[in-house]
Amino acid sequence: MPYTKFISKPPMTATFTDYVAQKDAQNTIQLNVTKYGLMLCDALQQNYQRRHPNGRNYSYALISGRKYHKVMQCVNGETESVHAFIDKKTGEVYKAASYKAPAKGVRFNLLIIQEREFVLKNCDWAGGYLYRNAYYQGA
Protein backbone atom coordinates (compact mmCIF):
# COMPACT_ATOMS: atom_id res chain seq x y z
CA MET A 1 0.00 0.00 0.00
CA PRO A 2 1.34 3.40 -0.88
CA TYR A 3 2.08 5.82 1.91
CA THR A 4 -0.09 8.57 0.42
CA LYS A 5 -3.34 6.64 0.36
CA PHE A 6 -6.40 8.77 -0.38
CA ILE A 7 -8.70 9.13 2.60
CA SER A 8 -12.24 10.00 1.64
CA LYS A 9 -14.24 12.42 3.73
CA PRO A 10 -17.83 11.68 4.66
CA PRO A 11 -20.38 13.63 2.63
CA MET A 12 -21.49 16.96 4.07
CA THR A 13 -24.96 16.62 5.57
CA ALA A 14 -25.53 20.21 6.70
CA THR A 15 -27.74 22.36 4.53
CA PHE A 16 -27.55 26.06 3.97
CA THR A 17 -30.52 26.61 6.28
CA ASP A 18 -28.68 24.74 9.05
CA TYR A 19 -25.66 26.97 8.49
CA VAL A 20 -27.79 30.13 8.63
CA ALA A 21 -29.52 28.96 11.81
CA GLN A 22 -26.16 28.21 13.43
CA LYS A 23 -24.77 31.62 12.45
CA ASP A 24 -27.88 33.35 13.81
CA ALA A 25 -27.46 31.52 17.12
CA GLN A 26 -23.77 32.49 17.29
CA ASN A 27 -24.60 36.13 16.56
CA THR A 28 -27.30 36.13 19.24
CA ILE A 29 -24.84 34.74 21.79
CA GLN A 30 -22.24 37.37 20.89
CA LEU A 31 -24.81 40.17 21.15
CA ASN A 32 -25.90 38.86 24.57
CA VAL A 33 -22.28 38.72 25.75
CA THR A 34 -21.83 42.36 24.71
CA LYS A 35 -25.08 43.35 26.45
CA TYR A 36 -24.07 41.57 29.67
CA GLY A 37 -20.61 43.16 29.49
CA LEU A 38 -22.22 46.61 29.32
CA MET A 39 -24.46 45.66 32.25
CA LEU A 40 -21.30 44.73 34.20
CA CYS A 41 -19.79 48.13 33.37
CA ASP A 42 -22.92 49.86 34.68
CA ALA A 43 -22.91 47.75 37.86
CA LEU A 44 -19.23 48.58 38.49
CA GLN A 45 -19.92 52.28 37.95
CA GLN A 46 -22.83 52.22 40.42
CA ASN A 47 -20.73 50.32 42.97
CA TYR A 48 -17.94 52.90 42.78
CA GLN A 49 -20.33 55.84 43.09
CA ARG A 50 -22.10 54.20 46.04
CA ARG A 51 -18.84 53.58 47.92
CA HIS A 52 -17.06 56.82 46.96
CA PRO A 53 -19.62 59.55 46.30
CA ASN A 54 -16.96 62.29 46.37
CA GLY A 55 -14.13 60.21 44.87
CA ARG A 56 -12.31 60.42 41.56
CA ASN A 57 -14.26 60.49 38.32
CA TYR A 58 -14.12 56.74 37.54
CA SER A 59 -16.10 55.16 34.74
CA TYR A 60 -16.04 51.79 33.01
CA ALA A 61 -16.01 51.03 29.30
CA LEU A 62 -16.20 47.89 27.20
CA ILE A 63 -13.54 47.81 24.47
CA SER A 64 -13.65 45.00 21.92
CA GLY A 65 -10.55 43.19 20.78
CA ARG A 66 -10.04 40.23 18.49
CA LYS A 67 -10.96 37.55 21.04
CA TYR A 68 -11.96 39.41 24.21
CA HIS A 69 -13.93 42.38 25.40
CA LYS A 70 -11.86 44.41 27.86
CA VAL A 71 -13.68 45.96 30.79
CA MET A 72 -11.62 49.13 31.13
CA GLN A 73 -11.45 51.37 34.17
CA CYS A 74 -11.34 54.99 33.00
CA VAL A 75 -10.43 58.17 34.87
CA ASN A 76 -11.78 61.44 33.46
CA GLY A 77 -12.68 59.69 30.21
CA GLU A 78 -9.24 58.20 29.55
CA THR A 79 -8.55 54.48 29.93
CA GLU A 80 -6.32 53.69 32.87
CA SER A 81 -6.38 49.94 33.52
CA VAL A 82 -8.04 46.67 32.57
CA HIS A 83 -10.57 45.45 35.12
CA ALA A 84 -11.47 42.12 33.48
CA PHE A 85 -11.63 40.26 30.18
CA ILE A 86 -14.78 38.71 28.71
CA ASP A 87 -14.53 36.06 25.98
CA LYS A 88 -16.61 37.31 23.05
CA LYS A 89 -17.85 33.86 22.00
CA THR A 90 -18.46 32.12 25.32
CA GLY A 91 -19.18 34.92 27.83
CA GLU A 92 -16.50 33.66 30.23
CA VAL A 93 -15.10 36.32 32.57
CA TYR A 94 -11.38 36.35 33.41
CA LYS A 95 -9.38 38.42 35.86
CA ALA A 96 -6.81 40.60 34.12
CA ALA A 97 -3.22 39.34 34.36
CA SER A 98 -1.84 42.28 32.39
CA TYR A 99 -3.03 44.98 30.04
CA LYS A 100 -2.97 42.54 27.12
CA ALA A 101 -3.81 39.15 28.59
CA PRO A 102 -6.27 37.53 31.00
CA ALA A 103 -5.25 35.36 33.92
CA LYS A 104 -5.66 31.62 33.57
CA GLY A 105 -8.88 30.11 34.77
CA VAL A 106 -12.45 31.18 34.15
CA ARG A 107 -13.97 33.15 37.02
CA PHE A 108 -17.60 33.40 35.84
CA ASN A 109 -19.74 32.84 32.75
CA LEU A 110 -22.15 35.66 31.91
CA LEU A 111 -24.36 33.36 29.84
CA ILE A 112 -25.27 31.27 32.90
CA ILE A 113 -28.11 33.11 34.63
CA GLN A 114 -27.11 32.20 38.20
CA GLU A 115 -23.51 33.33 37.72
CA ARG A 116 -24.51 36.51 35.87
CA GLU A 117 -26.91 37.51 38.66
CA PHE A 118 -24.20 36.89 41.26
CA VAL A 119 -21.66 38.98 39.33
CA LEU A 120 -24.02 41.90 38.75
CA LYS A 121 -25.11 41.88 42.39
CA ASN A 122 -21.70 41.39 44.04
CA CYS A 123 -19.19 43.01 41.67
CA ASP A 124 -17.03 45.71 43.19
CA TRP A 125 -14.99 48.39 41.49
CA ALA A 126 -11.70 47.04 42.88
CA GLY A 127 -12.19 43.53 41.42
CA GLY A 128 -12.25 41.48 44.63
CA TYR A 129 -15.01 39.27 43.25
CA LEU A 130 -12.62 38.06 40.51
CA TYR A 131 -10.28 36.24 42.89
CA ARG A 132 -10.60 32.47 43.04
CA ASN A 133 -11.14 32.44 46.81
CA ALA A 134 -14.04 34.88 46.55
CA TYR A 135 -17.30 34.03 48.25
CA TYR A 136 -19.12 32.54 45.22
CA GLN A 137 -20.40 29.05 46.01
CA GLY A 138 -22.25 28.32 42.76
CA ALA A 139 -21.94 25.54 40.24
What 3-state DSSP class applies to 8? coil
**pLDDT number for residue 21:** 87
- Answer whether residue 136 is part of any domain: no
The total domain count for the chain is: 1
- Answer whether residue 137 is part of any domain: no
d(CA 44, CA 139): 23
- Answer whether residue 11 is part of any domain: no
For residue 26, give its domain range.
17-128
- Answer whether residue 110 is part of any domain: yes
- Contacts by residues 120-127 (CB-CB < 8 Å, ≥ 24 positions apart): 120/39, 120/40, 120/43, 121/43, 123/40, 123/43, 123/44, 123/47, 124/44, 124/47, 124/51, 125/44, 125/47, 125/48, 125/51, 125/58, 125/73, 127/83, 127/84, 127/95, 127/96
Q: What is the pLDDT of residues 73-84, one digit of tens each?
A: 998 888 889 999
- Answer whether residue 9 is part of any domain: no
**pLDDT number for residue 2:** 56
- Answer whether residue 10 is part of any domain: no
| Residue numbers in the chain where pLDDT is lower than 70 | 1-13, 133-139
**pLDDT number for residue 76:** 85
